[in-house]
Structure 1
Amino acid sequence: MAHLLYNSAFENYKNQFEEYFKPMGKGLQGLLVDSAMQKTPNTIKAIVPTGRRVRFIQRAITTAVWKAFSTPTEEQHISTLESFVLDVYSKLSLPTKKRVISDAYKLALFQEAVENCVERKELEFYSRDGSNVSTAIIERLADVIYGVKKKGITPELLEQDIAKSSTTDDEEINIHTLHDIVCVYKEYQHLLGEQLADKATITQDVCAALSGKDIHDILLADTVICIDGFTEFTYPECELLAELAHSSVPVVLALEYSVTNGPLFGNLQEVHERLVTSGYKDCDLDAVAISAEASGVIFTPHTSYIRRWLFNTEKEIRNNSFEKNIHILDAQNRVDEVQTIAKYIRYQILHQGVKPAEICIATRQPENYTQLFREVCAMYDIPVNISDRFPLAKSPVVVALFAALNIITHGYRREDLHRALENPYCTFTTNNGTAIDGDTLYNVAVRLRINGGERRRGVVGWINRLENAAQISSRRLEVLKQDLFAEQVEIDSTERQVEEVQEVLQGIKHLQKLLPEKQQKFTVVDFVDCIKSTFIQGLGIQQTIRDFYKHITDTEHYKNDTVRMLETLEQDTRALGELLTLLDEIAFVYSERFGNARRTFGEFVEILEATVRGAKYQIKEETNYGVTVTSIEQTRGIPYKVMVVCGLVDREFPVAYTPETFLGKELPDSEMRHIRAERMQFYMALANNTSALENGTAQILLTIPKYATGDEEFIPSPFVEKLEKISTIASTRISTHHAREQVRYNANSTLWCKDWIDSVSSYDEAMMEFMAKPKSELLQQYFNQQPEHRSITDILDIATTYSHHNQTEVAIRYVLEHTLQQELSNLVNKPISASDLEEYASCPYKYFSDKLIRLDEEQTSTNMLSPLERGTLLHAIVYRFYQTIATELVNDGMAEYLPTKGTAPQPVLVRLNPTEYQYYYETLTRLAHEECNRITYEHPFFELEKETLFGTSTTQGTRKGVLENWLRHELQRIEDGWDFVPVLFEFGFGMKAKQTSAQQAIKVGEIYTRGKVDRVEVKQHPDGSHEFIIADYKTTKPGASLTNITRGEKFQIPLYMAAMQQVWQHDYDFTAMLGGGVYYMFMPPNGKYHQQLLVPNNSSVAAIGVSTRSQSKIPTQEQVQDIMQQSLQQAGNTVQAIAHGTFSIQPQKNTTCTYCSYSSVCRIKELQAHQQQAEFPDEELGNPLLP
């Protein structure tokens, strides 16, 4: 230390303390250890800046005493200044003691203060029209107001600024903003009243209580107060120290201060002047100059030199004493920076004998790095002790609680219900003990378009909609069961829908009983009890934490996994503890303020939410475990052997200064005070271990990331430049990239980092190094020997970035031989659908991701009908229309049947009569209305869907609907000579159905298949033979062209034609000839409502609707047969390729990847780049697997 400030009572201790605090002295820690070892009668009350240093000194004392005497130490009087003030306050004799509120409840009071000001319409800037102030602004106002309060600025002082500005037209003061600050500040102080106090108020009250009095009566006898390690004091703290100037209790402050160091100690200068004025004496312990050279004055020890010259820019002094102790490393980005630091730390631990607890990674803004270090240190097998204060609002425990509370406060919104039900910390069980399934609820709600929310009557709206849907689904199920032609698949599907709706209905009713209503009135005690019993215990949040601990202890895990899980467990436990503490505080403070006043559940939730937003929690620091990762200010006074300072970029270190616009005025010298504080932080990081820096054993690594995300380039911290100007360390500065290149290609490199910069330090790096080998046989050999080391997706992630496309295929295929080969081989004997074949044809890797490893696609919901839902609705309407006409023909005795075998029901040929249009239209619209009622949902968009179906009639004219247009073109096609008659509808083959015994998959060619044909039409020739056409419904355009089929891109029509040929032979008493296929469109943009496909030129319908120019392209009967056989052969080849595990990344068209959900998995762009490299080898792209 360089400077002592002490009061008169300390004179007798001055000489003793100087020996400890002079340069190269033992400092406070040595003083306290020696005092404990000698068991001196006087008691030293040590006050330090951080709790971390309190614990560090306590451990040092305990260890020293135990080693010397094998006995525990006596009580150690070490605390932070905040704890000291609270301790003094608790011992003061005051008429009434105020309750000290937490930082969390302080934010809740600020929110209440703002709301009160808004209600009284006092705010002129933040709520001009009386509107609510956002949460973010309230939090910012709370920070600003509490900040000025800690500086000793009162509302009255701010009002003086307003009065002064109104008379002088001071443009630097925003009167309206400052007026709002004063209003909220006064209201906040009013809410505190005489019962409550924040920490700043306590400091002020202690100052007032000690004014003119002595602190001797409330401290132990012979106590010496020693304050060490502070770089700044707030105004109330400074006033408290001034009150101790004439105390009979000895007081001494050991400061890093020098009169000649204005640029570094400017903020302490004000403290120094204030305390000297109040009666303190000072003593300068700084080193003296030992040499004077032309280049300047050199000091010893090194910390004195750095303190003197670091930010004095009048001269450049190239001191070469730091080259072996301080190094600068430029990294490519934050990830490269953290990974390089991990390599460096492993080297220090494994090769230099440094214990992990003796290493510290410090940064100015820990939030930018803590998660990275968690992930990377786990990857590099480095134990870490990350000191990070976590926001309570982001804790999984609190997130789970508010997920449940939001159900109530937001009116049972669909998203809130799904989020809560799927939260792993919550368990919603019904009375019979079964859990409410979140996915089922969400899927049913999406299908029924139930959004929830207060505007839609909340839980009551859910129950009404679900009960209505249950009735409609049940009626439909009964109709299907009575329908002889209904598919069993559809019956089973409808049964599942009924069961799902009933399940969700019961779940919602249970939630209605379990959860309180938003407007239900509670006292604060009842509210807190409800949160604890109904939510924390009732929903199993507390039990989930216990179960997680049991899982950790009962299951064997890798050591690092166990450590990480225990850390997660501790985070959850401490978050829950902090939450329970906040609830108790809310109950106590609110009861003190309002007694048993009752508020709605929603209002109390708002108070709890505001309180939680201001709270933080911290996991316990593990003693002598792991590398410390923390903020720079937390390292003060702790002498680490290895110090890494990362994130040295401008605007992060030093933190960018931003004027306080929320205050409405800029406080005097704010910017300069900010810069000085940042400088002091940098100096403290360098001077952390004075003795090690002096004897040459200190290791300090300064790292600078070059790029942020993307191509944005960081600017190095100006502090680094300042350090380079007073030393020669710039000569050893190097980037990670160049360092690795030098070490990799120069065996005789003398770089300071050569022993670790290019080392393989993790399992992943070892894998990458291995993958960089040129021969893919090594890859095959490795996975043959160690297949369990990687999951399929991990292997694919590496393998698809390999240099050449053929090696990628080999790698994927080889991995599959060990994991899925047996399952794939069985696919040859399993049915495959036409859609599966077409998906493989569009991209084999897409089929692999979708059908084999079943990666979930992102689901999106819309208030309009999706294309699939719209198509399903139209299919259902048309199906019911033809089935109704068929039933009426049977009832009227006018039905024509197809001959069948056995007892199977005879299909009815449904011949429509164009003259019966009106009757058909009425029947069609009636059935359509019934189907719409089955899926109706409360949203204006559904009315638009119905208008599209049924058309509109207004004063401006009539617009025909989709159904009317479809029916007119059905009848028009008959009038044009279409002589094929519909007979089978939604006909399933190769599956269980009422109208066919074909329950097993049908073999066509070399494959087995099953499916459902939208419609089959049959023509009876005069000679008694039959011909059939496969009809498929499409919404807007045909599903395939002849070119698509011949290229092996589409399979549906050929596959269905071949399958139906076997159906006729198996279930019907005749053989039918191939008549081709046809697409029927409901909403064709070009007005063409049907299009033939594979209809031979000798067919009676081949030319209907076909232009004269296109008639010459109609294939012959032989060509149709050949095309179908070719398509079946291509389908067989596709099944064989799947069975052999061939899943190359070969999209059929460029547009295939445009809307593909798996493009981020296959990384097609990277693959194309590597293929380009193979074509143009002179354009070096580099191996992507190299570090």
Structure 2
Amino acid sequence: MCPAVLYRRPPGEGLTEFISAFRKAAALDPLGAVLIVPTSRLADDIAHRLTSEGTPIVGDAVTTLAGFARRVFEDDAGDGSAITGAQSRIIIADILAARARDLPLLVRGGMPGSGVVNELATLFEILITRKVDYPAALGDLQSAKSAEIGLVFDTYLRFLDEHALVDENTLLARQLAGRSRIGPVFIYGLYEPVPLERDLILAIRERAPEFHYVIPWTENTAVFTDDGSWIRPDVVDDGGKPPAAEIQGAIRITARGDRVDEVRAVAQEIRDLVAGGVPPCDIAVAFPDLPEAMVYVEEVFPDFGIPYASSRGTALIRSPHVRALLLIIAAPAHGYRREDIVALLNSPYINDGRFPAGAIVDVLSREARITGGRDSWDRGFAALAGRLEAEIALSETPEGARRSHKGTLAALAGVREGLEVLFSDLLPLEGAETVAGHIAAYRSLLDRWGCPVMPDSGGPDLLLREARDRAAFFRALDTLEETARILPERVVTPAGFLSLLSLIVAGTGSGGRRTRNAVQVIGVREAAHLTIPHLFIAGLVEGAMPRLTTRLPLSTDLETWRLGTRSRADILREERYHFTAALLAARERLCLSFPVMDGEAPTTRSGFIDEVGDAAALETPGAESFGASRLLAAAEAGALIASGRFDEAAAIIPPPAVREAARRLNIENYHRRGPCNSPYDGVLSYDPSAVAALTRRFGDGAVYSPTMLETYADCPFRFYLGGVLTLEPLASPDPDLTARERGSLIHRIAHRFYSGWTQDGHGPLTAENHPEALRWILDIGREEVEHVGLRSAAWTVEKEFLLGSSLAGPGLLERFIENELRLATSPLAPWAFEFSFGLSGEDAALIRLHEGSEETILLRGRIDRIDVAPDGVFMITDYKTGRTHRGLADVIAGKALQLPLYIRAVETLTGLTGAAGAYYTLRRDEVQIRPVFWDARRK
């Protein structure tokens, strides 16, 4: 065994000398010498430095401890194979699925959740690297849960052994007994290696002909407790006495508004540095949570024109590109849910015109009340087509509505045909199949569709990101396919296949951007021992730095303590070390920042910032100008244009853009302010062709409904949108009755009851005919609810409230009959129901607008109910099933026109005299008639 030399140095100190020593050893033993460092970023940085200086590097001679173990394993493995973390999670998921009956606490519903799989993978990593005998180490805390975890753990390790596999953790243990030749070994900067790593380091020490170990160390025991004595060094070099670590360069600490504002501020400072001559490669931005931060970086940095490189992008599962590809599997796996099909057809990565447009399918499926189920699509569309055809056949349907329905039917036919092709194409993805079988069917469909459809336009950053996402997704699919070959061949459902693929995608980054002549975007832990002239550390809030997660996955605090893993103090010390090491990486400039808000929630700045407070005061800048942002520059130019400073705006954006922005600002700030007198308010008198078209529709012969006139009185622009442009809010896809449908149902039942009752010769309701009347209306109600066709639990409950039951008590219809019995004493008796006029345009009521005026209007409508007294006076009644309706004040103000106009129409058409207008409230909690206005002489 060779002498082992231990060097104690502050983080980053002595690295240059250590690299020089390694260079000399590598010159003598190029195939055996190895330099082991904590991070792959530092390894890449050192390797680049050596090669740029003319020192040849063989393979991965500069690597991490895990990289060294993998290299030795590949040299010695024979028939063995190493698997990735993603493959490890797939194996765990397969074990959970296969042993689901034995694991009721871990597997719910027969399918393992991705959360449980990820937590088990993390727990297994800790148990292996910390050499914990699980579950025996729990002692008297062992439980049914720990027994299930132990079963999965043992099965997982046995599976690896039986298939000659090693994961990223057992790989270290495998090398403890390695026999391959090792050259001179130089290890720099490992902070508190875990037990399994220590064992491997000691095994390397035993076999290496030359062993040098530099440990991060100062006298600060709040950060450094590992002095390296466990290496059993033959020589200890303290470099004199290690000095206290000191931060070099200028330090700034800044509070920012929110996360976006923080990243923008960093981006602006970077642009200023680059403009001042600093090379982008001399700048780095570090975040405690890099994957989360990349969401903001990928949006902000391209906007500021900053070239950047990162070890990883955002989580692949966030990519719209990848989510679209997963939707192809999700559609059949989730039973052809409406939202999945619409999203699939709306995706430009999938639907290039081969299938109906998602927007059309969205509208029609809402109208058809489709929620999911392959067969329900055509059944729902057929029912919708039937309803439209029935309305077209009605003589009272307005001609405009007929034309609209015919257009909808034509669109519906195209959608049904297109969806038939889509569902036929997706059919091979249905049913249980092996993972390999699912992948083969999926790849075949992607090939047949030419998916994903890659965009041929867009910014270079966007195109690069989408290409990167596509490549990363298919690598994930390859990983699943490769892993499936070593798994027991068993069939899984489409949902199970989707879960496995999503599991890999969720744990995969979209791929890093490795470019040296660019700003480096890194994690805080990657910064240790680097030499960075200008370093920004952002996102320094509690929960991110430090991240004090002491509890082990799937474990209580007491179980975590019993297993003897890291305590809160250990984690705090480790987090403080990584923060300190990152600070020491800065050479000329160090900028620390944190967001004050995270969305709507306030944040708490990291306590580590306070520890640096002696070196720099906290800055809270006011409103800042982000001049390098193209988006914000455009917004600033808009503000200048709005204030009339056109020359200043032209210095920011091109003059044509200034003119266009001014035109649009005038629309909003001038034309759409004050009285409605411009085309932008819906006043179209400036356009002769528009006036001609409107005259044809709304000229002297136009027939109006009270609802149209009420809409115009309330909001002319809303009338323009609905009455002129025929735009309507999207229908709700809710499988339960809408308020409008509920009202229509009550209207139909009441109309059928009284029409049949009077035609059968019955008179007013009395105590004697009350039972028969109740039977009549309940029979009608049962017939009508059967025609509704809903199947939801909520509809079942609503039917009970309508028809009544032993549990719900008297229903709404029974209470209606009881109220009608009370009203039978009034001289007003039901005379007409669903009284319609003018719907065909031929029998519209001619209403004079003012006394003595020749100005008239043609009115159409359908009146719910007319009650007439023996002396010829009548009352108009409108059924209401909602909670709010217009009152007398709205009638007087001219906003509630329905009841007054209907009274004038009936007077015109029948010669009867109007006496009152009323609302008949029909709800679960209220059944009563309330007059809104009446002739006081006849009350």
* TM-score (norm. length: structure 2): 0.78
Contact 1:428 1:539 in 2 (8 A): no
2:2 maps to 1:8: yes
Q: Distance in 2 between matches of 1:580 and 1:204?
A: 29
Q: Unaligned 5+ residue runs, structure 1? A: 1-6, 67-71, 167-172, 217-222, 289-303, 311-320, 453-457, 553-561, 741-756, 800-807, 890-910, 1021-1025, 1065-1069, 1107-1187
Describe the shift of the 1:958–1:580 C-alpha distance in structure 2 as closer, same or farther (beyond 3 A): closer
Give the deviation of 1:408 after TM superposition: 3.1
Q: Among 335, 343, 348, which residue is 1:411 paired with? A: 335
In structure 1, the partner of 2:81 is 99
Q: Among 200, 204, 225, which residue is 1:266 paired with? A: 225
Describe the superposition over 1:624-651 as per-residue Cα deviations: whole angstroms up to 9, x where unpaired. Answer: 4543222112233442221011233344
Helix, strand or coil: the match of 1:786?
helix
Describe the shift of the 1:823–1:370 C-alpha distance in structure 2 as closer, same or farther (beyond 3 A): farther
Give the deviation of 1:459 after TM superposition: 3.4
What is the identity percentage for the equivalent residue pairs of Structure 1 and Structure 2?
19
Give the deviation of 1:416 after TM superposition: 4.0
Structure 2: which amino acid aligns with 1:355?
Answer: P
Contact 1:953 1:959 in 2 (8 A): no
Helix, strand or coil: the match of 2:120?
helix
In structure 2, the partner of 1:1046 is 892
Q: Distance in 1 between matches of 2:230 and 2:676?
A: 74
Q: Among 615, 621, 624, which residue is 1:729 paired with? A: 615
In structure 2, the partner of 1:215 is 181
Contact 2:4 2:212 in 1 (8 A): yes
In structure 2, the partner of 1:1116 is none
Contact 1:397 1:575 in 2 (8 A): no
2:153 maps to 1:185: yes
Q: Among 457, 477, 492, which residue is 1:551 paired with? A: 457
Q: Distance in 2 between matches of 1:791 and 1:520?
A: 58
Describe the shift of the 1:394–1:345 C-alpha distance in structure 2 as closer, same or farther (beyond 3 A): closer
Q: How does 1:178-327 map to 2 (within 5 A)?
A: 178-195=146-163, 196-210=165-179, 215-216=181-182, 224-247=184-207, 249-257=209-217, 260-267=219-226, 269=227, 272-276=228-232, 281-284=235-238, 286=239, 305-307=243-245, 325-327=250-252
In structure 1, the partner of 2:593 is 703
Describe the superposition over 1:1145-1177 as per-residue Cα deviations: whole angstroms up to 9, x where unpaired. Answer: xxxxxxxxxxxxxxxxxxxxxxxxxxxxxxxxx
Structure 2: which amino acid aligns with 1:589?
Answer: I
Q: Distance in 1 between matches of 2:756 and 2:145?
A: 73
Give the deviation of 1:722 after TM superposition: 3.4
Describe the shift of the 1:1055–1:644 C-alpha distance in structure 2 as closer, same or farther (beyond 3 A): farther
Question: RMSD in angstroms over aligned alpha carbons?
Answer: 5.6
Structure 2: which amino acid aligns with 1:530?
Answer: A
Describe the superposition over 1:916-955 as per-residue Cα deviations: whole angstroms up to 9, x where unpaired. Answer: 9999999988876665444322234435545555666999
Q: Distance in 1 between matches of 2:280 and 2:575?
A: 28
Contact 1:1016 1:1028 in 2 (8 A): no
In structure 2, the partner of 1:939 is 792
Q: Distance in 2 between matches of 1:955 and 1:341?
A: 63
Contact 2:322 2:470 in 1 (8 A): no
Helix, strand or coil: the match of 1:84?
helix
Describe the shift of the 1:480–1:1044 C-alpha distance in structure 2 as closer, same or farther (beyond 3 A): closer
Q: How does 1:740-755 map to 2 (within 5 A)?
A: none
Give the deviation of 1:981 after TM superposition: 6.5
Contact 1:111 1:610 in 2 (8 A): no
Q: How does 1:32-47 map to 2 (within 5 A)?
A: 45-47=34-36
Q: Among 43, 46, 49, which residue is 2:38 paired with? A: 49
Q: Distance in 2 between matches of 1:953 and 1:666?
A: 58
In structure 2, the partner of 1:1122 is none
Structure whose alpha-carbon radius of gyration is higher? 1
Describe the shift of the 1:574–1:1057 C-alpha distance in structure 2 as closer, same or farther (beyond 3 A): farther
Q: How does 1:1076-1155 map to 2 (within 5 A)?
A: 1078-1079=917-918, 1081=920, 1083=922, 1088-1089=928-929, 1091=931, 1106=939
Describe the shift of the 1:654–1:137 C-alpha distance in structure 2 as closer, same or farther (beyond 3 A): same
Give the deviation of 1:606 after TM superposition: 6.1
Q: Unaligned 5+ residue runs, structure 2? A: 650-654, 699-703
Describe the superposition over 1:739-760 as per-residue Cα deviations: whole angstroms up to 9, x where unpaired. Answer: x7xxxxxxxxxxxxxxxx6675
Contact 2:366 2:731 in 1 (8 A): no
Aligned residues between the structures: 909
Q: How does 1:77-156 map to 2 (within 5 A)?
A: 77-92=61-76, 96-115=78-97, 119-120=101-102, 135-155=114-134
Q: How does 1:898-1047 map to 2 (within 5 A)?
A: 932-946=785-799, 960-961=813-814, 976=828, 985=836, 987-988=838-839, 993=840, 995=842, 1012-1015=860-863, 1032-1035=878-881, 1039-1047=885-893
Describe the shift of the 1:603–1:132 C-alpha distance in structure 2 as closer, same or farther (beyond 3 A): closer
Q: Distance in 1 between matches of 2:280 and 2:728?
A: 42
Give the deviation of 1:622 after TM superposition: 3.9
2:521 maps to 1:682: no
Give the deviation of 1:1083 after TM superposition: 1.8
In structure 1, the partner of 2:701 is none
Give the deviation of 1:186 after TM superposition: 0.9
Q: How does 1:611-760 map to 2 (within 5 A)?
A: 611-612=503-504, 615-624=507-516, 626-660=518-552, 662-663=554-555, 664=559, 665-667=562-564, 670-689=567-586, 693=587, 698-710=588-600, 712-717=602-607, 719-724=608-613, 729-730=615-616, 732-737=617-622
Q: Distance in 1 between matches of 2:60 and 2:376?
A: 63
Q: How does 1:59-78 map to 2 (within 5 A)?
A: 59-61=48-50, 63=52, 77-78=61-62
Contact 1:969 1:1089 in 2 (8 A): no
Structure 2: which amino acid aligns with 1:184?
Answer: V
Helix, strand or coil: the match of 1:644?
strand
In structure 1, the partner of 2:652 is none
Describe the shift of the 1:815–1:265 C-alpha distance in structure 2 as closer, same or farther (beyond 3 A): farther
Describe the superposition over 1:452-508 as per-residue Cα deviations: whole angstroms up to 9, x where unpaired. Answer: 4xxxxx5356666666x36xx53x666656644443355456656766776666566
Describe the superposition over 1:83-104 as per-residue Cα deviations: whole angstroms up to 9, x where unpaired. Answer: 3322221221x5x522222211
Helix, strand or coil: the match of 1:621?
coil
Q: Distance in 2 between matches of 1:394 and 1:411?
A: 23
Contact 2:819 2:927 in 1 (8 A): no
Give the deviation of 1:957 after TM superposition: 7.2
Q: Distance in 2 between matches of 1:837 and 1:33?
A: 89
Contact 1:207 1:243 in 2 (8 A): yes
Q: Distance in 2 between matches of 1:35 and 1:448?
A: 76
Give the deviation of 1:244 after TM superposition: 2.9
Q: Distance in 2 between matches of 1:206 and 1:190?
A: 18
* TM-score (norm. length: structure 1): 0.64
Q: Distance in 2 between matches of 1:76 and 1:193?
A: 27
Helix, strand or coil: the match of 1:227?
strand
Give the deviation of 1:581 after TM superposition: 1.7
Q: How does 1:323-362 map to 2 (within 5 A)?
A: 325-350=250-275, 352-362=276-286
Q: Distance in 2 between matches of 1:224 and 1:336?
A: 49
In structure 2, the partner of 1:537 is 447
Describe the superposition over 1:1068-1114 as per-residue Cα deviations: whole angstroms up to 9, x where unpaired. Answer: xx998995884453627775547465x7x5xxxx766x4xxxxxxxx
